[in-house]
Chains A and B, each alone.
Chain A
Amino acid sequence: MSVNKYLPHILVLPEDEANSDIANGFLLHPQLNARSIQVLSYVGGWKVVVDKFTTSFIPTMRKYPNRRFVLLIDFDREEDRLGYVKQQIPDDVKDRVFVLGVLSNPEELRSSLGKSLESIGEALSANCSDNTDGLWEHDLLRHNKTELKRMISSVKPFLFN
């Protein structure tokens, strides 16, 4: 069966192929409860992520209270982007929506680490599972700290076995 929408689950909407590759790596963690997470098709641009989320997914967030959502975007070193995106999220679902991404873009992170994007996703998944900062402390990822902490406390009980 697909993700059970009546049980706690999380949907991930990646901005582009690179972010999707990181999400694919995240899925490969052996302790991940794979049926509680679904990576959606990437949409091509952070603005499209926001548009698609607000038009297509906010109604389903309201319908299914066990649904969490990750908007996986590039921040392109734009300091205001997180604030802008969060402003588009209605208050009644805000606590179940998380905005994460690389400070610049995944390609720069890949070059910096010399690892494949899937391997980066796997490492981030392992850090979430182990409650370690690890790769999340990287210069290009550190800014996610507040959102990450909020997300982990929301999804950890069901996302990892």
Chain B
Amino acid sequence: MLQRLYVHNFRCLENFEFSLREMSSALLIGRNGAGKSTIASSLELFQSIGRGVNRVRQLVQPKDFSPNRSNVPIRFEIEVLIKNKLYKYMLALELPEDFRELRVFEEQLLVSGKSVYSRKEAQVTLTSRNPEAQFLMDWHLIALPVIQEQSETDPLCIFRTWLARMIILAPIPSLITGDSQGETLEPKRDGSNFGEWFSGLLSRYPAAYTEIKKYLQVVMPDISDIQNQSVSRNFKSTIVSFEKNDRNFTIEFKDLSDGEKCFFLCAVVLAANKHYGPLFCFWDEPDNYLSLSEVGHFIVSLRRSFKNSGQLLATSHNQEAIRKFSSENTFLLDRKSHLEPTLIRSLSEVSISGDLIDSLILGDTEL
């Protein structure tokens, strides 16, 4: 579970600290530009590192410094509880004068307070190895993806896998086609590799099909079959069949409605969390594309699925979605102007006179 996220000097996040602790699900609310998507970008940076991206310029650009603050390092810290061990990863990036690309200033991974490796600029020290090992590496490269793991139980492997399997979603249904040219367990933010994810999940965990179909039959009672069939070598396409009163209808996945594609995405998220979780899932506005009658059930399904395993962090501007969370697990983000940093506070600590939704509509919720 994600315990804590700390980001400093990255876009609108300055000295920004967000603690989720034991919350299985939580919601971020706040007006446009308050910083919700920047939190997603920060998490995506860790996800990318876990997935092997190690060139600094592919992760952070000079324009990502908070306004007029390129002389201060950008700092990212994440604390994650995995199998009762606390993993803490810190990464600081700086832009020295005359540099066009940021470089690593500091980097460290600790497990239960003990250092696995630490780094200062180019100098990396593997403190967990006996004897302690030191080596130099290009300061424009992140060390975490390249340090060799010794086994699947190596903390490096466990942590990298956790990061890589984080689900960060802001789906764009028009990009979700259901076609695939391979398999993965690493979905993209826009959902455009849904087909590969669906194929990867079913290939490694065939029982997931039952979970997926079970969820879909609740939201689309006339669905009868989902086929992920080979069209040619290394190319699969998904088709969906419906049946009612002995009549059948089959369509290509890409022709489903935007909301229906989101049902599929939700079904795969739930199945993935069950079969290769516990997973951390950040879903930016999961209520998008859904009818009002579906929003509440959709949110509750996600919250229930992550209740005993994994963790869900969502954002929303939708009142039905917001009402499915409580003040204890809702966080309000606020920012006074584009020149000032994002503030965050639990809604239970914010004084709101009257109804929350009315207050949000009127723009009265401020920190």
- Using CB atoms and an 8 Å cutoff, list the residues of chain A in contact with chain B: 1-2, 17, 20-21, 24-25, 27-30, 32, 34-35, 38-39, 41-42, 44, 116-118
Cα A21 to Cα B330 in complex, Å, equals 11
Cα A141 to Cα B304 in complex, Å, equals 25
Can you spell out 24 A-B residue pairs with CB atoms less than 8 angstroms apart?
A: A1-B218, A1-B219, A1-B221, A1-B293, A1-B294, A20-B323, A21-B326, A24-B323, A24-B324, A24-B325, A25-B326, A27-B303, A27-B304, A29-B304, A30-B307, A34-B300, A38-B296, A39-B296, A39-B324, A41-B319, A44-B355, A116-B326, A117-B326, A117-B328
Instruction: Apart from A20-B326, A117-B326, list 20 A-B contacts with CB within 8 A.
Output: A1-B219, A1-B293, A2-B297, A17-B356, A20-B323, A24-B325, A24-B326, A25-B326, A27-B324, A28-B300, A30-B304, A32-B304, A34-B297, A34-B301, A34-B304, A38-B296, A39-B323, A41-B320, A117-B328, A118-B326
Least CB distance from A15 to B in Å reads 12
| B293 in complex: contacting residue of A2, A24, A39, CB < 8 Å | A2
- Closest residue on chain A to residue B354 by CB atoms: A44
Least CB distance from A5 to B in Å reads 11
Taking a contact as CB atoms under 8 Å apart, the answer to whether B323 and A41 are in contact is yes
Cα A97 to Cα B326 in complex, Å, equals 25
Taking a contact as CB atoms under 8 Å apart, the answer to whether A118 and B328 are in contact is yes
Cα A41 to Cα B357 in complex, Å, equals 10
Taking a contact as CB atoms under 8 Å apart, the answer to whether A118 and B329 are in contact is yes
Taking a contact as CB atoms under 8 Å apart, the answer to whether A35 and B303 are in contact is no
Cα A32 to Cα B300 in complex, Å, equals 11
- Closest residue on chain A to residue B292 by CB atoms: A2
B327 within 8 Å of A (CB atoms): yes
B308 within 8 Å of A (CB atoms): yes
Least CB distance from B195 to A in Å reads 25
Cα A118 to Cα B356 in complex, Å, equals 17
Cα A45 to Cα B53 in complex, Å, equals 54
Cα A132 to Cα B303 in complex, Å, equals 25
Cα A39 to Cα B356 in complex, Å, equals 17
Residues of A within 8 A of B296 (CB): 38-39
| A35 in complex: contacting residue of B218, B220, B308, B319, CB < 8 Å | B218
- Closest residue on chain A to residue B301 by CB atoms: A34
- Closest residue on chain B to residue A119 by CB atoms: B328
Interface string of B220-237 (1 = CB under 8 A from A): 110000000000000000
- Closest residue on chain A to residue B25 by CB atoms: A28
Residues of A within 8 A of B324 (CB): 24, 27, 39
Chain B residues 326-340 with CB under 8 Å of chain A are 326-329
Cα A34 to Cα B355 in complex, Å, equals 26
Cα A118 to Cα B304 in complex, Å, equals 12
Residues of B within 8 A of A20 (CB): 323, 326
Cα A42 to Cα B220 in complex, Å, equals 28
Interface string of B352-366 (1 = CB under 8 A from A): 000111000000000
Interface string of B177-200 (1 = CB under 8 A from A): 000000000000000000000000
CB-CB nearest 4 A-B residue pairs: A2-B293, A21-B326, A116-B328, A118-B326
Least CB distance from A98 to B in Å reads 21
Taking a contact as CB atoms under 8 Å apart, the answer to whether B328 and A21 are in contact is yes
Cα A2 to Cα B290 in complex, Å, equals 11
Least CB distance from B357 to A in Å reads 8
Taking a contact as CB atoms under 8 Å apart, the answer to whether B323 and A2 are in contact is no
Cα A42 to Cα B319 in complex, Å, equals 12
Most chain A Cβ neighbours within 10 Å, of B219, B220, B297, B308: B297
| A28 in complex: contacting residue of B218, B219, B304, CB < 8 Å | B304
Residues of A within 8 A of B357 (CB): 41
Cα A35 to Cα B293 in complex, Å, equals 11
Least CB distance from A34 to B in Å reads 6
Chain B residues 135-179 with CB under 8 Å of chain A are none
Interface string of B274-316 (1 = CB under 8 A from A): 0000000000000000000110110011011001100000000
Cα A42 to Cα B357 in complex, Å, equals 11
Taking a contact as CB atoms under 8 Å apart, the answer to whether B326 and A35 are in contact is no
Cα A118 to Cα B324 in complex, Å, equals 11
Least CB distance from A42 to B in Å reads 8
Cα A26 to Cα B323 in complex, Å, equals 14
Cα A41 to Cα B324 in complex, Å, equals 9
Cα A161 to Cα B221 in complex, Å, equals 18
Least CB distance from B6 to A in Å reads 25
- Closest residue on chain B to residue A43 by CB atoms: B355
Residues of B within 8 A of A25 (CB): 326
Residues of B within 8 A of A34 (CB): 297, 300-301, 304
Cα A144 to Cα B251 in complex, Å, equals 51
Residues of A within 8 A of B220 (CB): 1
Residues of B within 8 A of A24 (CB): 323-326
Least CB distance from A155 to B in Å reads 17
Least CB distance from A38 to B in Å reads 7
